[in-house]
Amino acid sequence: MKKNILILLLLCPLIITAQANKLIRKGLKTVDPIEKIQLFSEAITLEPNNLDAYFYRAVTKHSIDDFNGAILDYTKIIFYEPSADVYFNRGNSKYSLLDYYGAMNDYEEALKINPEFIEARYSLGVTKNDLEDYKGAIKVLDLPNVFKSYPILLQLARAYAGLKEHLKALQHYNAAVLLNPNSITFYARGVFFMDINYFEKANNDFNAIIYLDKTNFAAYFFRGISSFFLGKYQDALIDFTVASQNDITDFDAVLGLALSHYKLNDLTNTKLNFEKAKSILMGSNISKKDDLELFKNTYWYQKQLYAFSELYSEISQL
């Protein structure tokens, strides 16, 4: 009798593990994320230290934007069995919550465990750029043994642009475009050209983007901006029309319509779109002042303040 009890006691943990693993396998086959989480949670109830169940539950929570829940599960795993993958995944959840410092720390821990973890290295570079630690981003990404994929080249370009080293930034943007001439690389270089007022080159890049993807409405807007500052007001008008029709709340595009109509001496449509842009910016807050400061969140104010302030003064007098 005692022998049978001993055998049962020895088998009990194995039975529980088998049941927990069965629930995990079922969860992995299930499509519904809520059902997945329920099954992984049942596995954890049966076997509280089943780290696989915690990991899969964390991944599922992240997929439904429960980033805090995912972080708690990843933290549980790290307490018992830290690994580069778990640090990386927890970093991604923290990044999704805009906790850039927390994400940066986790990506660094992942790289300590596995220096060859290229995804963690790339994500660390992105995060350092987001934190405006441009030198740190370059230090992480610009290593002889790191393959310079086009996403890494774009982050290096972004870092050099942040340091105002425009020639080096352009070299990396050009390298990214040569390596993979897609809408992402053209767009990144086009925005860079806009930032340094190289409107002709920017215009060419946005032409390339729209050729590749006619649904890239941000490219229409930026092409409209570049055309405007090149004096091609009719072309700008067409692009701002496309952008504003795609999103009727796009105050930047509507403002672009007003400015383009003004340059084409169509004062009726100038006033119409100018008032529309102001209405969008004010929203339900009618107490906002109707002055230049109303436009402080627009591209025109933030990137082209000198030119915009002059045009604002003229249009306000109409």
Q: Is residue 136 part of a domain?
A: no
Question: What phi, psi does 120 have (nearest 5°)?
Answer: -70, -40
Q: What is the pTM of this model?
A: 0.88
Q: Is residue 104 part of a domain?
A: no
The count of other CB atoms within 10 Å of the CB of residue 28 is 13
Identify the CA nearest to 253 among candidates 222, 230, 275, 229: 222
Domain containing residue 270: CATH number: 1.25.40.10
Question: What phi, psi does 185 have (nearest 5°)?
Answer: -70, -40
Q: Is residue 129 part of a domain?
A: no
Domain range for 228: 215-318
DSSP structure class, residue 292? G
**Which one of 42, 64, 81 terminates a domain?**
81
pLDDT per residue as tens, the chain (318 positions): 444 444 444 444 556 677 878 888 888 888 899 999 998 888 888 888 889 889 999 999 999 999 999 999 999 999 999 999 999 999 999 999 999 999 999 999 999 999 999 999 999 999 999 999 999 999 999 988 888 999 999 999 999 999 999 999 999 999 999 999 999 999 999 999 999 999 999 999 999 999 999 999 999 999 999 999 999 999 999 999 999 999 999 999 999 999 999 999 999 999 999 999 999 998 867 667 888 999 999 999 999 999 999 999 999 988
Total domains present in the chain: 2
Q: Is residue 200 part of a domain?
A: no
Q: Is residue 133 part of a domain?
A: no
The count of other CB atoms within 10 Å of the CB of residue 317 is 6
Q: Is residue 314 part of a domain?
A: yes
For 3, residues 6+ apart whose C-beta sits below 8 A from its C-beta are none
**Which one of 41, 64, 81 terminates a domain?**
81
Q: What is the CA radius of gyration of the chain?
A: 27
Q: Is residue 312 part of a domain?
A: yes
**Which one of 81, 103, 120 terminates a domain?**
81
Q: Is residue 91 part of a domain?
A: no
